[in-house]
Every structure is written in structure tokens, then in C-alpha cells.
Amino acid sequence: MVQRVVILGAPGVGKGTQAKKIKEKYGCIHVSTGDILRNEIEHRTVLGNKVDTYVKKGELVPDDIIIKLIKKKLKDDSGKGFIFDGFPRNVVQAEKLDGILSNLGLHLTAVVLVNVSNEEIIKRISRRYLCDTCGPVIIENNNSEKKCSNCGKKVQRRKDDEPETVKHRLKVFENQTRSLINYYKGRNLFKSIDGMGSVNDIFQRIETVLDVIQDD
């Protein structure tokens, strides 16, 4: 079954974690624009230097930069589809995506909105750290040395996960990304799910949606 999916939701709702599980189950490519940009920044590439300030401040990177990345990434699709995580972020990006797909004779098969309250998001992000080896990990409050619970290495907080920047990112979501819900809402492919519970509980809800909505 080909999946061409957008996972939507505010920062910290668990889009990345769920997107990885979708990739594992359905074999599609995982395209996280946030991960791509962080990688470019870390390697100090020309693109990385261009987007660094936007990402640090929690502002959206200009649409033309993002669209170029997406076009490039879609070339990696071997026919099993993709899961977009963190893209689109506004209606302009969503319209461009529809145009790109339609030029390829394709269309989205599902848009899944994950709902979590802002209080819970702030709680989750305050415990979220990055491990060089394991990626994003949750660190319990009593882990004062901030070591990865999987491999024991020291972990760091994402610069844009500092509390003030998180509040700003939530505002950016409300002002720019929430309008996407109306953009997709009228279509059959749009489904909204509860993002509370364990990773597996949430994945089960997503699977139910993806297994029902089928391509053509």
C-alpha cells in the first residue's frame, strides 16, 4: 500500500517519533524538514548558514528554500511513498506541494493531525534532549547529569527547545500552520487524532487511519 502522508501538529506533539514508525511499517521515506535543516546547520553548509537564524529563533524558513528541499527529497521516493513531518507549514507550502505532486501524477493519501494541549507540549519539550547517537530522547527530571537513557552519552537540548523559543514556536503554529487544517479539512484524506497516551497507543490510532484510507 503506497502512503503519501502529511503528519500535522504543533511542535512537540510527537510527529517525528510517529513518522519513524510509519516509515518502518510502510517502507516509505521519512522527510523531516526540521532534521534536514538542522543537519545543514550542523555542517555549516551555505544553506545551513542561510537558515540558522530562522531556526534558532523558531521562525519559519522562507518557502522557496523549503520547496527546493522537498523537490529534491521526492526524488528519493522509490515508489513506496513518503511521510512529510514538519512540512507543509503554511497554505503557500501546501498549495505548492499539491502542484508538485499533480505534476508527477500523484496526490496525498492522508493528512493526519495529532492533537495535544499546549500545557502537555510544554511539559514534553522541557524533557526533550538530543543524543548524537540515538536522536531525540526524553530525559526524566531526576536525571541531573542529562545522560541518554539508551546509550549513556551526554545529551544536549535543541537550541529552539528553550522555553521562550518554544512559546514562540507555538505562536507561529497558531498563526501560520493552523490554517492548514482548514485547507485540508474538506477532503476525505484529513483525519484528526488524539495525541495523548503512549507512543504505541498513538501509533495504533494512526495505523487505523492509514489502513483505511487507501490510494486509488
- Euclidean distance between CA atoms 5 and 1, whole angstroms: 12
Reading the block at residue 5, the C-alpha cell is 502522508
Of the candidate spans 53-61, 98-106, 130-138, 183-191, the one that interacts with ligand AMP by CB under 6 A turns out to be 53-61
Question: Cα 57 from chain centroid?
Answer: 18
Please choose, out of 52-60, 104-112, 146-154, 194-202, the segment that lies near ligand AMP by the rule CB under 6 A: 52-60
Task: Name which of residues 138 to 177 contact ligand AMP (CB under 6 A).
Answer: 160, 169
Question: Do residues 87 and 93 make contact, with C-beta atoms less than 8 angstroms apart?
Answer: yes
Catalytic residue among 15, 20, 73, 96: 15
Site for ligand AMP in 76-105 (CB under 6 A): 86-87, 89, 93
Whether 146 contacts 154, CB under 8 Å: yes
Could you say which of 22, 47, 61, 131 contacts ligand AMP (CB under 6 A)?
61
Verify whether residue 169 is a known catalytic residue: yes
- Nearest approach, Cβ of residue 160 and ligand AMP (Å): 6
Give phi and psi for 51, each to the nearest 5. -100, -10
SS3 content of the chain, % helix, strand, coil (to 5): 50, 15, 35
- Contact set with ligand AMP (CB under 6 A): 11, 33-34, 37, 54-55, 58-61, 66, 86-87, 89, 93, 160, 169
Active site residues: 15, 89, 128, 158, 169
